[in-house]
């Protein structure tokens, strides 16, 4: 039964939840997910120190050299809970499923936003303060290459950011842009003609000049005014979730520490948890566009 305490979301709901997260999160949209074990995983980043060598027959071979740096990716718990009337427990299975589906939809949207805020800016989405659980595992901390945002020439900002990534021998596979940046792009004109109409009226094009793109409020949602994260999301960033997504129906006590007993107020508590892990494997393959 989907309403028993400590059960998991129905597989269909889990699939639907993750699909919605991918659609709302810029990080998830620009990088395909990899399942992360509950205990985390270790990614090894190889750096070849020299170029390939051409050797003549019977010629002397020399060492190219290699650097090996491990990056640990540990899942972080994302939790959301809400009180609803205890009439839920006496509703038909169809009505219960409708309620859980609605909760699932809302939870997906919150996870998507929370993932971006945590992964980009290192904050706890509930209070928007720096999270000790996340530490420095976020773009604002790891990515030190920056371009100063200029609202009149956002296209030049993009060119400069791409040049920075190219200079670090990285490939640009994704553009995460703020709503402010998207609006600035829509306003760029030449001879009175919009140069980038795909950004007009708050739109978020799926790609720009062939590069996957996501325009999202979360990009500028941290403590710093970031308007773009440009870089190799496909190869230099990794994220994933643990397969088990717990969902509880709690009938007793005060699970949200509100001081109100559930039974005393004729309520139950629906709580869902999702474990997400991520890692910025090569920070120099990214650049941020930000205000000074």
pLDDT of 46 strictly over 70: no
* pLDDT, tens digit, 9 for 90 and up, residues 105-161: 899 999 999 999 999 999 999 999 999 999 999 999 999 999 999 999 999 999 999
- Asked if 271 contacts 80 with a C-beta cutoff of 8 angstroms, the reply is yes
Q: What residue segments make up the domains of the chain, in order of their start?
A: 11-49+71-290
pLDDT of 70 strictly over 80: no
Average pLDDT value for residue range 19-45: 81
Tell me, what's the pLDDT at 212? 97
Per-residue pLDDT band for 61 (boundaries 50, 70, 90) equals low
Q: For a pLDDT cut of 90, what percent of the chain falls above it?
A: 61
Q: What is the pTM of this model?
A: 0.86
- How would DSSP label each residue in 26-59? HHHHHS------TT-EEEEEEEE-S------TTP
| Average pLDDT value for the chain | 88
Higher pLDDT, 244 or 131: 131
Tally the residues of the chain. Answer: 292
Tell me, what's the pLDDT at 95? 87
Q: Within a 10 A sphere around the Cβ of 74, how many other Cβ atoms?
A: 17
Class in CATH terms, 11-49+71-290: alpha beta
Per-residue pLDDT band for 171 (boundaries 50, 70, 90) equals very high
Per-residue pLDDT band for 175 (boundaries 50, 70, 90) equals very high
Which residue from 287, 44, 280 is spatially nearest to 168, judged by alpha carbons?
A: 287
Per-residue pLDDT band for 99 (boundaries 50, 70, 90) equals confident
């Amino acid at each position: 039964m989907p309403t028993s305490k400590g059960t998991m979301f129905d597989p269909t709901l889990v699939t639907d939840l993750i699909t919605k997260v991918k659609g709302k999160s810029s990080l998830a949209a620009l990088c395909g997910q990899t399942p992360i074990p509950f205990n985390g995983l270790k990614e090894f980043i190889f750096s070849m120190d020299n170029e390939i060598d051409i050797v003549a027959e019977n010629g002397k071979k020399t060492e190219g050299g290699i650097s090996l740096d491990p990056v640990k990716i540990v899942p972080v718990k994302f939790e959301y809970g809400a009180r609803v009337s205890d009439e839920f427990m006496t509703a038909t299975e169809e009505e219960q499923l409708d309620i859980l589906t609605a909760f699932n939809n809302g939870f997906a949207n919150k996870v998507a936003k929370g993932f971006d805020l945590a992964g980009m800016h290192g904050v706890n989405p509930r209070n928007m303060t720096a999270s000790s659980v996340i530490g420095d595992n976020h773009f604002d901390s790891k990515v030190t290459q920056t371009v100063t945002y200029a609202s009149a020439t956002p296209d030049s900002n993009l060119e400069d950011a791409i040049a920075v990534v190219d200079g670090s021998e990285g490939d640009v596979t994704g553009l995460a842009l703020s709503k402010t940046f998207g609006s600035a792009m829509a306003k760029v004109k030449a001879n009175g003609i919009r140069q980038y109409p795909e950004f007009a009226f708050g739109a978020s094009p799926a790609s720009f000049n062939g590069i996957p793109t996501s325009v999202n409020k979360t990009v500028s949602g941290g403590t710093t005014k970031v308007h773009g994260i440009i870089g190799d999301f496909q190869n230099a960033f990794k994220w994933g979730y643990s397969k088990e997504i717990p969902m509880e129906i709690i009938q007793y006590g005060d699970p949200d520490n509100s001081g109100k007993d559930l039974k005393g107020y004729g309520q139950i508590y629906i709580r869902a948890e999702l474990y997400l892990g991520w890692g910025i494997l090569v920070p120099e393959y990214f650049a941020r566009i930000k205000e000074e």
